Structure 1
Amino acid sequence: MDCGFYLYGIFPDSIPEELAIQGLDAQPVYSQVIDGFTFLYSEAKKEKYLASRRNLISHEKVLEEAMQEGFRTLLPLRFGLVVKNWDAVITQLIQPYKDKLQELFQKLNGTREVSVKIFWDTKAELQAMMESNPGLKQQRDQMEGKTLSMEEIIHIGQLIESNLAARKDSVIQAFFNELKPLASEVIESDPMTEDMIYNAAFLIPWENESLFSERVEAIDQNFAERLRIRYNNFTAPYTFAQISE
């Protein structure tokens, strides 16, 4: 049963009507031009799609494969967007947001999104911090085995926390100072786990990716074995394709 169209993303220029790409429900992926915008879609077999890992990966894979085929300027659409017909696209998306869509395409033209996530071992960093700060370590050691007042507990806790935060900031600043000059825009997001200390997306010129990658690796080497870096150099530009109300 056909339930309409499942939409993946929008391109500013025309692309082949049928691509050698398989979408959700193993459906072939097509393109449809509406009012100067090219929509990437497949026939929807469900009215609503569960945000399962398999479906999310399929959605992302369609966008990445289209980009790999050379259609680089792309506005990815959120997962699960099903429309009954193209009239709905015109009334719900193009008419109210046409100018903003065009502005986003101008911003994204010739650029790509890359992301950097930095992890460290909090316990190991805390131990290293103490070893490098004898005065603080001595204060902490002197308190062991003693009955402490609430003020003393708060005081030593704040000292440890502030010193660990400074250690974290020095790592983040090293990455930011080296990578920001290569980007036209940076968006920092909250860490997603306790051991993640930095989570940022960078909008960079398409041809600068190799240089960006080299800088990430060089900074990582400067910190020896302290960090784990997750660098994603090829993804649809979700972070920078947000339509502001």
Structure 2
Amino acid sequence: MKTRPKSETTQRSVGEAPACYVYGIVRDDARLPGDMDGVAGEEVSLVRHGGLAGLVSEISPGQALGTREDLLAHEGVVEAVAADTTVLPLRFGSVVTTADALVEEMLIPYHDWFETVLDDLEGTHEFAVVGVYVEDAVLREVIGEDPEAAQLRNRIRELPEDAAYYDRIRLGELIVKALDEKRQVDSEALVRALEPLSEAVSLRTPTSEDTAADAAFLVTDRDLPAFEDAVDELGERWAGRVRLRMIGPLAPYDFVPAPPEEGT
């Protein structure tokens, strides 16, 4: 993995103690992949306590985070570790002042909750399944199913560009409304086809107007072959209309519940 020179990333004052960047929580017997760099090119290690461990690297206390390189480094560490062990991933940018603070503020007060979540996630991985509309095909559907849209399209073809201005606006509104309705139907079809082969499902917000469906599935290692077959079958059924792809295995970001209030 390419790293940035320390002179560009973690310039610490003499005697300044490093802070602790936290990627996630694992069991204390987790084994880290070799040659793995974290945020700012720092070495990744484990801070252990009570059967759990924080997945961490050092970081300058005043270092700004938020570059694409930082985000990719965070994701790279979490995904590399998640390939071989169960990880409770933390969101990008989680920092505590010291390793001792990680123990005192996270590993001790939330110990039982971390244990429960890791037990629930054991033997599973997250997979994202995303469908994208084939533009020409879905527009043909919309025009074929909506007489007003078909009439507007024909009129726009016959009129000068300026004269068809309001017709184009109206046609665009009809297409957006129709795509919203189709997206709802197709998302339900995606969940219906794959939910029986998963432990949990999380529908995700579409990232673009041509998204047909976007959902995350928590899948056990046992069910993965059947899940992959079901994705392939749905992809064949939607061929020419929706391009379907499966992304993963991923760390289970979409299936980590909210932590309890401290002391509850």
**Coarse TM-score class (shorter-chain normalised):** 0.7 to 0.9
The corresponding residue for 1:3 is 18
Aligned pair partner of 1:32 in 47, 59, 71: 47
The corresponding residue for 1:212 is 227
Task: Say if 2:105 is the partner of 1:92.
Answer: yes
The corresponding residue for 1:43 is 58
Which stretch of the first structure deviates more once superposed, 184-193 or 120-129? Answer: 120-129
Shift of 1:186: 0.6
Shift of 1:6: 1.8
Counterpart Cα distance in 2 of 1:120 and 1:190:
15
CA contact (8 A) 2:187 2:214 kept: no
TM-score, scaled relative to structure 1: 0.80
CA contact (8 A) 1:101 1:243 kept: no
Unpaired runs of 5+ in structure 1? 148-152
The corresponding residue for 1:77 is 90
Counterpart Cα distance in 2 of 1:13 and 1:125:
50
- Equivalent pairs counted in the alignment come to 237
The corresponding residue for 1:185 is 200
Where 1:177 maps in the other structure, the secondary structure is helix
Residue-by-residue CA offset, 1:47-96 (whole Å, 9 max, x unaligned): 3342211111111111222233x22x111122222222233123322344
The corresponding residue for 2:72 is 57
CA RMSD of aligned residues (A): 3.2
Where 2:213 maps in the other structure, the secondary structure is strand
The corresponding residue for 1:150 is none
The corresponding residue for 1:127 is 140
Where 1:22 maps in the other structure, the secondary structure is coil
Counterpart Cα distance in 1 of 2:69 and 2:114:
29
CA contact (8 A) 1:47 1:82 kept: no
Counterpart Cα distance in 2 of 1:202 and 1:218:
16
